[in-house]
Amino acid sequence: MITNRSTVGFIGTGVMGGSMAEHILNAGYPVHIFTRTKDKAMPLLNKGAEWQPSIKALAKQADIIVTMVGYPADVEHVYFGEDGLLNHVQPGTYLIDMTTSKPALAIRIYEEASKRDCYAIDAPVSGGDIGAQKGTLSIMAGGEPSTFDAVLPLFKLMGTNIIHQGGPGAGQHTKLCNQITIASNMIGVCEAIVYAQKAGLNPSRVLDSITTGAAGSWSLSNLAPRMIKGDFAPGFYVKHFIKDMTIAIESAQEMGLSTPGLDLSLKLYKELADKGEENSGTQALIKLFIR
């Protein structure tokens, strides 16, 4: 049973993970951290989190383990590597992967965790750095209903729109739907801002009119102002969006689906990355439209 005295292990404290772990720490949970670069964890360690020198060491300390890493290959390493979680985790541990990853990998983690009398749930998030900082992320969960209910108090520290979507892998499939929607929308946001500029309008005033109407979207409200200011710092990396879109296209192809909007967005973002922008925020896409 999870209580506020349960020890939480957190692996991955990047742009979003750091803020997510901080909410858990601020709520009074004992938090143990492992990241590949200890320096990235220092803000949390300075606030009372404990450092663990390896995944193996963390696995032996935590009742609940949250992973928020970059790519499916990173997820595989964290869970299935020689020193990975599933080789050292204690029976009864809750494993929560909040990375956007492959649905098939989420199912594999669930199956292997079950063999070890552990509980696994895939719970990718949406909301970027702003949602992570404010604790207002959308959390899309896949796994057993009892596991979801058990970890829900932890989810409520990080997000506000928290929905159990179904069995193992359902959270990942839902996140891919999210990314497919954003992919085409980002093209429209960029084109709208450039159009406003070319028409001699004040783009910020245009946003005041259109963000609350039928055109409204999270990207329009949160990323378009950054585009106008020339702020391309990452709330979500271009390279990670490329990863997500690639997974979505592969999953769609497995189901026999055509995704022309997603295909175009991936093509444009790859072009952007080739221009040296892979570590910029996704709002940097507008650079391709400015002539």
- What is the domain count for the chain? 2
Same domain, 163 and 30: yes
Residue-wise pLDDT for 43-82, tens only, equals 999 999 999 999 999 999 999 999 999 999 999 999 999 9
**Single residue among 126, 150, 167 that ends a domain in this structure:** 167
Confidence bin at 4 (pLDDT 50/70/90) = confident
Residue-wise pLDDT for 156-165, tens only, equals 999 999 999 9
Residue-wise pLDDT for 17-51, tens only, equals 999 999 999 999 999 999 988 988 999 999 999 99
Q: So what's the pLDDT on residue 37? A: 86
Contact 124, 12 (CB under 8 A): no
- What distance in Å separates the CA atoms of residue 77 and residue 73, rounded to the nearest whole number? 6
Q: So what's the pLDDT on residue 197? A: 97
Tell me what the mean pLDDT of segment 190-202 comes to. 98
The CB-side HSE value for 183 (13 A sphere, CA atoms) comes to 28
Same domain, 56 and 189: no
The CATH number given to whatever domain includes residue 184 is 1.10.1040.10
One-letter identity of residue 265: S
DSSP category for residue 275: I
2, part of any domain: no
The CATH number given to whatever domain includes residue 140 is 3.40.50.720
Q: So what's the pLDDT on residue 63? A: 96
Q: How far is CA 55 from the centre of its chain?
A: 20
Same domain, 116 and 139: yes
User: Which of left, alpha, beta for 46 (phi over 0: left; psi -120 to 50: alpha)?
Assistant: alpha
Same domain, 152 and 27: yes
Which residue range forms the structural domain that includes residue 114? Answer: 8-167
End-to-end CA distance of the chain: 58
> Quick one: tokens of 244?
């997500």
Q: So what's the pLDDT on residue 15? A: 86
Confidence bin at 196 (pLDDT 50/70/90) = very high
Please give the mean pLDDT across all residues of the chain: 96
Tell me what the mean pLDDT of segment 86-114 comes to. 97
Is pLDDT above 80 for 291?
no
Same domain, 38 and 141: yes
Is pLDDT above 90 for 104?
yes
Contact 283, 220 (CB under 8 A): no
Checking 107-113 for CB contacts under 8 A at 24+ apart, the result is 107/168, 107/169, 109/75, 109/79, 109/168, 110/143, 110/168, 110/169, 111/168, 112/79, 112/80, 112/86, 113/86, 113/89
Q: Which residues are catalytic?
A: 175
The CA distances from residue 191 to 107, 186, 198, 230, in Å, are 39, 9, 10, 15
Cα diameter, the chain: 64
Is pLDDT above 90 for 145?
yes
Residue-wise pLDDT for 161-190, tens only, equals 999 999 999 999 999 999 999 999 999 999
Q: So what's the pLDDT on residue 187? A: 98
The CB-side HSE value for 151 (13 A sphere, CA atoms) comes to 33
Same domain, 270 and 131: no
Other residues' Cβ atoms within 10 Å of the Cβ of residue 30: 18
Same domain, 98 and 178: no
